[in-house]
Amino acid sequence: MPEFDANAVAAAARRVRLAVDPRRRRHGAGNRLGSGPGASLEFHDHRPYVAGDDLRHLDWGVYGRSEQLVLRRHRVEVTPRVEILLDASMSMAIRPEKLGLATAIAALIATLAEADGARAHLWSFAGSPRRLAGQWREELRALKPAGAAGLEQPVAQLAAGAERVLISDGLCPAGGAHVARTLGHGAGRLCLVQVLCRDEADPQPLGAVRLEDVEGGAADLVLDAAACALYRERFARHQGEWQRALAGRGTGVVAVVAEDGFEAALAALARGGVVSARAA
């Protein structure tokens, strides 16, 4: 796989920072008020109830008014933790620039987290989740894509209240709702940075072709205007599921196109609220 451009990542890290809830405040070296549920009596916000959540945090007043199950989240002082979940499956390597951009975004978010006094925890998902510990930059450069992502698998070591960023094409068979429940359980915030090739986001008619699923088999089909229209319809439903699953969890879905390059992706991350410009 191509190495990410470390110089481009370092240059970007001097221009932007991770966007955080403006209501948060720093408390001492490396500490700030977090968004996870806790013992503090200071109310922070609501988020939708997810099966398995602690029922003690349900807001029964909201349920009585609207029959909506939501959790009250209170502010707790924490050492912030940012968890970057990188899809390293074979589908991310169908173009060299796709996985290259995904690893560059992972490196940028980890760099920004560390610069903000947070603890950056990187995970790769290639068949099974694996923590990239120690020299994560070297591990990212040496990362080899393999198999299916396995994003449907829960990861016990993920921390409650952490800021969680999933970097993936999001084209998982289980769908966004299932993955958001599994990998977003207990997270303070969860967003998807969706890295797609141009023909995944907007396929064009090619005629009779043989398509190979790098994580499955191959199929012969006619990729005409009707087939492209059907794909776009299904893709829109898939995107809608992701957006609904992540509603109220943070910045939602930020889609970037691999062929557009790192600077275009950085601009999309800024528009999506994942990063913001540093003060001059």
Give residue 213's pLDDT. Answer: 55
Phi and psi at residue 43, to the nearest 5° = -70, 140
Q: Which residue has the tokens 């966007």?
A: 19
Amino acid at 33: L
CATH topology assigned to domain 6-40+75-277 = Rossmann fold (3.40.50)
| 136 in Cβ contact with 82 (< 8 Å) | no
Sheet holding 189-196, edge to edge: 129-132, 119-125, 81-87, 163-168, 189-196, 252-257
Give residue 60's pLDDT. Answer: 86
| 276 in Cβ contact with 16 (< 8 Å) | yes
- Cβ density class 233-252: b for 16+ within 10 Å, e for less: eebeeebebbeebbeebbbb
Give residue 112's pLDDT. Answer: 94
Q: From CA 106, how far away is CA 85, in angstroms rounded?
A: 8
In the structure encoding, which two tokens stand for residue 61, read together? 């007043």
Within 13 Å and on the Cβ side, how many CA atoms surround 18? Answer: 30
The closest of 107, 110, 105, 103 to 82, measured between CA atoms, is 110
Q: Rounded to the nearest 5 degrees, what angle is found at the Cα of 60, between the Cα atoms of 58 and 62? A: 100
* pLDDT tens digits in sequence order for the chain, 280 residues long: 556 888 999 999 999 999 864 334 343 334 444 444 444 445 566 778 876 677 777 888 888 888 888 877 655 444 578 999 999 998 898 888 999 999 999 999 999 999 888 889 999 998 788 898 778 888 898 888 888 877 887 888 888 888 999 999 998 888 899 999 999 988 888 999 999 999 899 888 766 554 555 555 555 565 678 888 888 999 999 999 999 999 988 889 999 999 999 999 999 999 999 999 987 6
The closest of 100, 136, 101, 142 to 119, measured between CA atoms, is 136
